[in-house]
Amino acid sequence: MEILTSRERFNLLVFDEVPDRILVFPLITNHSAYISNYSIKDYYTKGEILAQAQINAYEVYQTDFLSVFSEVGIIAEALGSYFEYPEEDLPKLKKPLFSNLKDYCERKLDWEYNEGKGRFYLYFDAIKILYKTLGDILPILAYVPAPFTTLALLFEQTEILKEVSFPNREKRKILKELLSLITNFTIQFIKSIINYGALPIIVDPLASGSVISPKTYKNFAFPYEEKLINYLHRYDLDVILHICGNTQIYLKELNESTADLLSLDKINLISAKRFLGDKFRLIGNFDTTEILLLSPEEIRKKVRNLVLKMKDNKKGYILATGCEVPFSTPKENLFAFIEEGKRWGKYKF
């Protein structure tokens, strides 16, 4: 039996107290449908199934967080982009709301927030069930796409990435106006998530260094992440920011963030610890391809090395995968990841 619940452990971490061990957080999202024998489509269209899948995953793996997430198009869909729903895959962007910035400027849009738009019900139904069932012992994380990621899913992506990479003065003004509208809409979504009992985690995968330059990130992604973070700080909540892909080239920009916890993917965690560890609780960053394909013994060895290097991070450390656990990851691989993390992540308590 462990001394603390996961919720108590997380509370100690964010209060700068040392818990009994590091928290262990493989990002189990649609993999929970896999181990529950639910179809992926049911998982991302039915809140009660998403919740039950997460409960099942917790009972199997005994991880430290619950995750409410389908994919990052949920806000773009509510604003008007069209997604198709495959039976055995996540929603796919079929037709973005706009083709280009000129198209946006020629339209009159009604972007008033209401909870009934798109698939918002999916989050709210799932959070209500999870909060009632396990909310007293586990943090419930609801993944919220940041404004830049939503922007990229409202347009033909090659067009919008070209616009943000080489904007003239007029286009820069239009982009910032649009991002402000998206931010205001996202804040209303966040407010609903908090009211239902979950902690929003801000995810910005399309702001990755694998997609855009540090300059573009600083101009069009970072300021709007900060607006969401500042809103959450009004509630005295500790904020997790997750960016997929290459974040090594963003170390300087990330160090200016006011987030409390940084979840990092493709980055040298030792350099992140040296550069960011005095300010942030760090989360990451076991490679998701490796957790899918390596043997349990190889995973145990890599986890042990990662934990021993990171557990003394000044502001604290959470062992996690760099991104979502792949759908069909073998159970024994996740058992190896979690067990080894708990074994080597103990503190004097």
Residue 271 lies in a domain: yes
Q: Which domain holds residue 58?
A: 38-283
Per-residue 3-state assignment (H helix, E strand, C coil) for the chain: CCCCCHHHHHHHHHCCCCCCECEEEEECCCHHHHHHCCCHHHHHHCHHHHHHHHHHHHHHHCCCCEEECCCCCHHHHHHCCEEECCCCCCCEEEECCECCHHHHHCCCCCCCCCCCCCCHHHHHHHHHHHHHHHCCCCCEEEEEECHHHHHHCCECHHHHHHHHHCCCHHHHHHHHHHHHHHHHHHHHHHHHHHHHCCEEEEECHHHCCCCCCHHHHHHHHHHHHHHHHHHHHHCCCCCEEEEEEECHHHHHHHCCCCCCEEEEEECCHHHHHHHHCCCCEEEEEECHHHHHHCCHHHHHHHHHHHHHHHCCCCCCEEEEEEEECCCCCCHHHHHHHHHHHHHHCECCC
Q: What is the pLDDT of residue 247?
A: 87
**With bands split at pLDDT 50, 70 and 90, how would you rate the model's confidence at 299?**
very high
Q: What is the pLDDT of residue 207?
A: 93
Span of 41-55, 99-113, 123-137, 296-310 with lowest mean pLDDT: 99-113
Predicted confidence (pLDDT) per residue in 188-247, tens digit: 999 999 999 999 999 999 999 989 999 999 999 999 999 999 999 999 999 999 998 888
Average pLDDT of the chain is 95
Residue 304 lies in a domain: no
Residue 18 lies in a domain: no
Q: What is the pLDDT of residue 1?
A: 77
Residue 279 lies in a domain: yes
Predicted confidence (pLDDT) per residue in 17-38, tens digit: 999 999 999 999 999 999 999 9
Predicted confidence (pLDDT) per residue in 149-180, tens digit: 999 999 998 999 999 999 999 999 999 999 99
Residue 8 lies in a domain: no
Residue 90 lies in a domain: yes
CATH number at residue 145: 3.20.20.210
If one counts the domains in the chain, the total is 1
Residue 106 lies in a domain: yes
Residue 290 lies in a domain: no
